[in-house]
Structure 1
Amino acid sequence: MTFALDSFDLDDFVRRTLTEDLGAPPGEGGRDVTSEAVIPAEAMFTGVMSSRDAVVIAGLPIAEAFFRSLDPEVEIEILVQEGEAVDAGTQVMRLKGQGRAMLTAERSALNTVQHLSGIATMTNEYVQKIYGTGCILLDTRKTIPGLRMIEKYATRMGGAQNHRMGLWDAAMIKDNHVAVAGNIGEAVKRAVDAGIEKIIVEVDKIDQIEPALAAGATYLLLDNMEPAILRGAVTLIGGRVPVEASGGITLETIFEKADTGVDFVSVGRLTQSAPAADIGLDFAQI
């Protein structure tokens, strides 16, 4: 299965992850001392990766890359689509190849699929909660360092859209920027003067909305507002720019906030706090 993401080097990720586990790069002194000691070099295994809970799957092509990096001849059959919701007990991948290579790659492959599927599963729970509101779920920059591209990939597999990818692709003016600039209008003006096309402005008070819009904000993030306040803010903005609700949103509160007329609702815990999915890998010697 071909897998490519912008700004994500799959080969480098696999190499760095395996190096972390093996003490040195594969083929350059990295070792799995247990498998070398216990498993004969000629041993061949079959393997089955299965979900143990109902989950949304993400990361199988990356898992495949771990196995292929250590055994280019391994036979791999991916049995489900990325982003597919599967029941407990569903087989998601079958393998056949060198036993040592499979055991060496196992943990890195499983860690990746469990983490990304956990994110996709939690994301999908939030997406289902706001179904029918017309509101779109967004992720945030609250990602594990070094894993942002694949974590944001996982939120897409769960049905969300990506917020800005980093500090480079949109301005987001927050309270600290406003404090230094002196007021919200001046902060926005500076971003406009810098030629930035997308200028997101975080507001936590209704009286900040008009100064932000007048200065050139192209998107408003309404932070930590209760549903009644959100409705009033949406009415005031009147469709002039896209509107996002954010701040402390949970499964219990997301529907009420999404149903206020905002265009988007963002949830940091999708990437910050999603538990790993329960996915296992069982081997048998041929």
Structure 2
Amino acid sequence: MISEEQFQAELDRIIHTSLQEDIGEGDHSSLACIPAEAVGMAKLLVKDEGILAGVDFAKQVFQAVDTDLKMETVLKDGAEVSYGDIAFYVKGRSRSLLMAERLVLNSMQRMSAVATKTHSYVKLLEGTSTKLLDTRKTTPGIRALEKWAVRIGGGENHRFALYDMIMLKDNHIDFAGSISQAISQTKNYLEELGKPLKIIVEARNLQEVEEILECGGVYRILLDNFDYPMTREAVKMIGNQSLTESSGGITKEALRKYALCGVNYISSGSLTHSVHNLDLSLKAV
């Protein structure tokens, strides 16, 4: 996984590019009718039900826009919210509040949606030892926010990008010629570079699971589109030689059934690619 410093750099980039995109040469609506010295207060109003996410990110946005903006937090990230709840108050220059408004709302609505869906999935896994993972199926440009929201919702992050973990999927294996060739070449590559990256290998059937095990040195075996009997058999074959991960269009209804097969992880792209934003508003007080 990426370091905290790398993750913060991603957040800083998102804030910078998003504000530039939205404000450009200036917020002419505010500049036209609000005096520079005007001061105001706003509240973040919840108009929905779910898991709140993005409060800490909102603080960073407000500070990036205007270091004099002061935020009073009422509800923290991860709180269960319902219609009428107030997440925070923020006070300062009115123009600054308006410049920050859209980025704060867009981010928090999206993050809260991801956290809410993740939380609902995690609850289905209670009583099992299986952990829920996200994927790289994220909105371009804001992956850091969505993966942060997954953690707030109780899930765990898979690799952040192509550079922080090796994942040999079906196309890698087919282009390399075989599973054993793909794994052998990967091990040589990492040794030459001196990079201690973990290796995950996708298996499409039990024969491929056996071939992966024969190669050894694989951190996790991804059981892609396995049915329940195949998953149970694969878990039995693998034992403690590698960790196991189920993936491939696993629905909410099937989630617990796969967990009960004994896999260590279940990954779901729908945590980030299929969510409906929570309704939040920033209202003047």
Q: Tell me whether the two structures share a fold, i.e. TM-score over 0.5.
A: yes
Q: Find out whether 1:246 has 2:247 as its counterpart.
A: yes
> How do residues 24-173 of structure 1 correspond to structure 2 at under 5 angstroms?
30-173=25-168
Q: Is the 8 A contact 1:55 1:88 kept in 2?
A: no
CA–CA distance in structure 2, aligned partners of residues 60 and 5 of structure 1: 20
Q: Is the 8 A contact 1:201 1:219 kept in 2?
A: yes
Q: Is the 8 A contact 1:186 1:215 kept in 2?
A: no
Q: Which residue of 2 aligns with 1:207?
A: 207
Shift of 1:193: 2.4
SS in 1 for 2:253: coil
Q: Is the 8 A contact 2:246 2:258 kept in 1?
A: yes
Shift of 1:125: 0.9
Shift of 1:120: 0.9
CA–CA distance in structure 1, aligned partners of residues 236 and 14 of structure 2: 46
CA–CA distance in structure 1, aligned partners of residues 99 and 159 of structure 2: 36
Give ranges in structure 2 of 5+ residues lacking alignment: none
> How do residues 187-206 of structure 1 correspond to structure 2 at under 5 angstroms?
187-194=182-189, 195=191, 197-206=197-206
Residue identity matched to 1:203: A
Q: Which moved more, 1:205-214 or 1:38-47?
A: 38-47
Q: Which residue of 1 aligns with 2:230?
A: 229
CA–CA distance in structure 1, aligned partners of residues 46 and 133 of structure 2: 26
Give ranges in structure 1 of 5+ residues lacking alignment: 24-29
Q: Percent identity?
A: 39
CA–CA distance in structure 2, aligned partners of residues 13 and 145 of structure 1: 11
CA–CA distance in structure 2, aligned partners of residues 133 and 182 of structure 1: 37
Q: Which residue of 1 aligns with 2:258?
A: 257
1:10-50 CA-partner distances (Å, limit 9, x unpaired): 44432321110112xxxxxx211111222233332211102
CA–CA distance in structure 1, aligned partners of residues 136 and 233 of structure 2: 28
Q: Which residue of 2 aligns with 1:27?
A: none
Q: Is the 8 A contact 1:5 1:149 kept in 2?
A: no
SS in 1 for 2:120: helix
Total equivalences in the alignment: 275
CA–CA distance in structure 2, aligned partners of residues 255 and 45 of structure 1: 49
SS in 2 for 1:253: helix
Q: Is the 8 A contact 1:244 1:262 kept in 2?
A: yes
Shift of 1:115: 1.1
SS in 2 for 1:159: coil
CA–CA distance in structure 2, aligned partners of residues 115 and 171 of structure 1: 28
Scaled by the length of structure 1, the TM-score of the pair is 0.90
CA spacing shift, 1:266–1:12, aligned 2, 3 Å: closer
